[in-house]
Amino acid sequence: MTTGDNLFGRLLKRSPTAAHDLPDRLGVPPTGLHLYLDGNGDVLQIAGPLRHLLAQHKPHDRPLPLSAYVLPHSLLSIEGQPRDWQGQLLDLDFPGLNDQPLHLRGWVQVLGDGWLLQMLDIADLLLERQQSRHRDACQTLAAQISDHLRTCSLTRLSTVLGEQLQAIAQRWHIPCLAVALLDEQTQGWQIHQQFRGHDAPELWVDGQRLGTPLDSLNGSAPQRLDGQQGQYEHSRLQATFGNANGFAVPYSNDHGVVAWLLCGFYSVDAVAPWLTDRDWLTLAGALAGPLLSRLREQRHQQSMERLESLQNLLGTGWWEINHEAISVAPSLATTLGLSECTLPVEDWLMFFHPADRDELRSRLRALQLQGEALTLSVRLHRAEAGQAPAWYRIQGQVSGTGEHRRLTGFMLDISDIQNQQQRAAAAHARLDNLIASSPAVIYVQRYEEGALIPAFFSASLQPLLGWTLADCDAAALGERVHPDDREVYFQRSRQLLREGSVRTRYRLRDSRGEYHWLLDEAKLLRNDLGLPVEAVGLWLDVTDATLAAEQVRQSEERYRILVEDSPAMICRYRPDLTLTFGNRPLATYLECAPEQLPGIDLGGWMSEEQRAAFLQRLTQLTPQHPVSTAEISLQLPGREHAWWVWSDRGVFDERGQLVEVQAVGRDNTEVRRSQQQLTQSAKMATLGEMATGLAHEINQPLNVMRMAIVNVLKRLGNGDVQVDYLTDKLHRIDAQVQRAAKVVDHMRVFGRRSEIEQQLFNPAQAIEGTLSLLAEGMRGKGVDLRISETGFEAQVRGYVDQLEQVLINLMVNARDALLSKRENDSAFKPWISIYVERDEENVRLWVEDNGGGIDPRLLERIFEPFFTTKPIGVGTGLGLSVSYGIIANMGGELSVRNSAQGARFCIELPLATDDQITR
């Protein structure tokens, strides 16, 4: 241990704090704590790295005695004056940061006209001594625990384990303590035994299953869950310890971690910091090692007892051949009526039926000579006539080699099973004869683990479907069912298992690939306990009758699905928009019954402008182009505006005149409102991003008005009042008020929601509105605005505030890129250019900058939602995506490409037609 290491460790837990500072007399000592004292023991100066670990003292006007810096129990060591301490080692404790004392050892020596007290940190030395004492105590306790567990009887194992857990808990004040072992069957962890103090809450119970949250802690050192910085924390242990602090110690053997010592409601660093990982592992090993050994002994004893009981119940037992003699288990000897457990092999063979004796002798010889495994069913030889034979299954094998080679096996009474199989075989033969000539396909399905497995089909299966039983396993049968009927087929199996009988129809594919409609009737057979055993049923071919009925049903179903039950709105109406038919969804939207729809004017739910546009679209239908699709806006009863995507198909007479329109529509209101909400949200975000510039726009007129008022007040104070001067100042103040009001009013107009329907407007209005909000802020940041003539005449259809929003987004993005570039190049002169082009069909608004352009790899993704190149937390990635949608909704296109100096965005909008302008 070095002082530098100890200082580093403490600095990890404490932040430096200013200590007592005086004029520098000691310089900068490299280690420890140096205190310069006068002859009375007053501290004149403190130096050294450890000075930052001392608790702070209130400011004082005079030096304080050394006793003011140490803890009370250290005062006896510094009684008197410094000259009395010379030649002594002083162990002093100083109050440190966060109430943690500093344990220091040092000495005094003369320095000039005072005394120098040099001290070093001995906290690690003290801790090591304390840990050594506790380690010895831990080793002693571990040895005692291991001895108690190894020497106690199996009947007292649980009691002794509880006593040892109590001893550990009381020794180290652990509220809840438990031993968790791995369940070999479920491979999950289980509380084997636990102990808790009388005042501790219940955290575990004996036998409680923990699942597998401990598997993630597969290290060899204790793992803690106490929230301390720097210690391992794993969230899956919450299931073990709840919300309490916990401490888990593993015990490992050749198979890995096989046990855990769990400490609950226990913060080891606060209660027993002197215990190391090795101490905890020693305790865990002292408990788990003997416990697992004794449990294996207990399981072996129980296994032997169960094996003996099982042999007696089943009439079975082991046998072993040694040379020409055979030994059998006592229970088996009693069952066979043997007087001795060991007898010659030939004498033993005489107990079996002559028909099986020779084969058994031959198989035993093959086992002895070639080591061939023996498996054979034989009958006992009984002299009583008419008595059912007793059947036994004999199995044997060779184990070991050389001198350790052994021939062992067992005998099992299978009389009931063998006799039942013989009776079942006779019954099956009679059944086969009975159903051989049946016109239906009779089948049997075997029940296995919740599934029905085909086990038998009558001979009529081959001429009907061309299959054999081998072609009809469960997987193949399901695949041969028509895809449209597979749900019916699987539901048939579930209903059969649930209700015991079923009657249904479905289609099966034969060997030629053709489908047959089959009527399937089946019944489930159960055993004496009510458990399913097998299903017996038959198939009847009903293809002809079913196809005829299906054609009628499909015809009716097509009409119902297409019209009555369609989620879409379907109707017919005359060219004057009078409905002649409508389905239920349309009636629901218009809040009336379907039979009330004929005669209703569909245009009555539209505005005059929408109705005129709707009729104009109908006039464009021709026999060559009879279909038209558009989005229409309606004011439905008791609702806000609704938007429908409406598709019309014209029906014409022989002269090409439109006589009726067939229409299908769907509700697009939620999509449109979501788009509007997204646009509005983006608009509000734009206002938020412009807040600084808008504040400058408003603050500038206020500063002008303030200076004007100050000048007027100065003139009034000097008595130099001139009417012309006052009038000029008041006019200036009025102009600035109008300027600020114009900015605020435009903010209010820009921030409100867009109109429901698109309006005609001049794009120059959007450019002027954008400049009114951004121009001053841009120039204030040093961005040169190059604006071409904005007084052009053009009319487009859309929303002027949304076009303004697009221009603001483009200019703000350009500004951010320009300012970012200027941060790296102070000589850079940023500029943004806005200019307009138009032709006979379109008007184009260009926004260009000299920011260097956009990475060509990003040009294809720049309009994607949530795509942004700005840092996290700056920008939402929606500005350009929303702008793209706004321009597309107005029938235009937003595009971008790189110019020679930067990015160049183009907003292209179609000019309104003469018909649109005059309406």
CA 266 to chain centre: 31
Which H, E and C letters describe 454-491, residue by residue?
EEEECCCHHHHHCCCHHHCCHHHHHHHECHHHHHHHHH
Q: Where are the alpha helices (DSSP H) in 405-470?
A: 415-435, 461-465
> Is the pLDDT reported for residue 748 higher than 60?
no
The pLDDT, as a whole number, for residue 675 is 62
Q: Of 741, 911, 913, give the one whose Cα is nearest residue 843.
A: 911
DSSP 204-259: --TT-EEESGGGG--SSS-EEES--TTS---GGGHHHHTTS-EEEEEEEETTEEEE
Angle between helices 669-689 and 879-889 (to 10 degrees): 130
* Cα 7 from Cα 121, distance rounded (Å): 8
The residue written with tokens 């033993």 in the block is: 348
**Residue 908's pLDDT band (boundaries 50, 70, 90)?**
very high
For residue 720, how many C-alpha atoms fall within 13 Å in the half-sphere facing its CB?
6
Which one of 579-593, 625-639, 738-752 scores highest in mean pLDDT? 579-593
> Is the pLDDT reported for residue 706 higher than 60?
yes
Within 8 A by CB and 6+ apart from 119, the residues are 32, 33, 34, 35, 50, 90, 92, 104, 105, 106
**Residue 179's pLDDT band (boundaries 50, 70, 90)?**
very high
Look at the chain and count its residues: 919
**Strands laid side by side in the 90-94 sheet:** 64-65, 42-47, 33-37, 114-121, 102-111, 90-94
Q: Give the range among 266-280, 363-377, 399-413 with minimum mean pLDDT.
A: 266-280
Q: Take residue 325 and report the two structure tokens written for it.
A: 């003699």
The pLDDT, as a whole number, for residue 195 is 93
**Residue 670's pLDDT band (boundaries 50, 70, 90)?**
confident
> Is the pLDDT reported for residue 753 higher than 60?
no
Q: Which residue has the higher pLDDT, 405 or 127?
A: 405
The pLDDT, as a whole number, for residue 460 is 81
Average pLDDT over residues 243-264: 84
Q: Of 533, 455, 456, give the one whose Cα is nearest residue 500.
A: 533
The pLDDT, as a whole number, for residue 334 is 79
Q: Take residue 672 and report the two structure tokens written for it.
A: 């449109």
Q: What is the pLDDT of residues 195-234, one digit of tens each?
A: 988 888 888 888 888 865 566 655 445 655 443 433 333 3
Which H, E and C letters describe 6-30, residue by residue?
HHHHHHCCCCCCCCCCCCCCCCCCC
* Cα 362 from Cα 275, distance rounded (Å): 70
Residue 119 has phi, psi (to 5 degrees) of: -135, 145
Strands 209-211 and 515-526, bridge-based pairing: unpaired
**Residue 755's pLDDT band (boundaries 50, 70, 90)?**
low
Mean pLDDT, rounded, of the chain:
78
**Residue 523's pLDDT band (boundaries 50, 70, 90)?**
very high
Q: Take residue 567 and report the two structure tokens written for it.
A: 């989620």
Strands 784-787 and 831-838, bridge-based pairing: parallel
DSSP 131-189: HHHHHHHHHHHHHHHHHHHHHS-GGGHHHHHHHHHHHHHHHTT-SEEEEEEE-TTT--E
- Among left, alpha and beta (phi > 0; psi -120 to 50; other), residue 95 is beta
The pLDDT, as a whole number, for residue 159 is 92
> Is the pLDDT reported for residue 746 higher than 50?
yes
CA 690 to chain centre: 38
Q: Which residue has the higher pLDDT, 19 or 871?
A: 871
Average pLDDT over residues 9-17: 36
Q: What is the pLDDT of residues 22-37, one digit of tens each?
A: 445 566 677 788 888 8
Within 8 A by CB and 6+ apart from 247, the residues are 222, 223, 224, 225, 226, 262, 263, 266, 268, 280
Q: Which residue has the higher pLDDT, 717 or 832?
A: 832
> Is the pLDDT reported for residue 603 higher than 70?
yes
The pLDDT, as a whole number, for residue 645 is 82
Q: What is the pLDDT of residues 527-568, one digit of tens each?
A: 888 889 899 888 888 888 787 777 777 776 776 666 666 778
> Is the pLDDT reported for residue 276 higher than 80?
no
The pLDDT, as a whole number, for residue 695 is 57
From the CB of residue 657, how many other CB atoms can be counted at a distance below 10 Å? 10
DSSP 492-541: HHHHHHHHSEEEEEEEEE-TTS-EEEEEEEEEEEE-TTS-EEEEEEEEEE
3-state secondary structure of 348: helix
> Is the pLDDT reported for residue 119 higher than 50?
yes
Q: Which domains does the chain show, CATH number per domain? A: 3-121 (3.30.450.20), 128-301 (3.30.450.40), 315-418 (3.30.450.20), 436-549 (3.30.450.20), 566-667 (3.30.450.20), 676-914 (3.30.565.10)
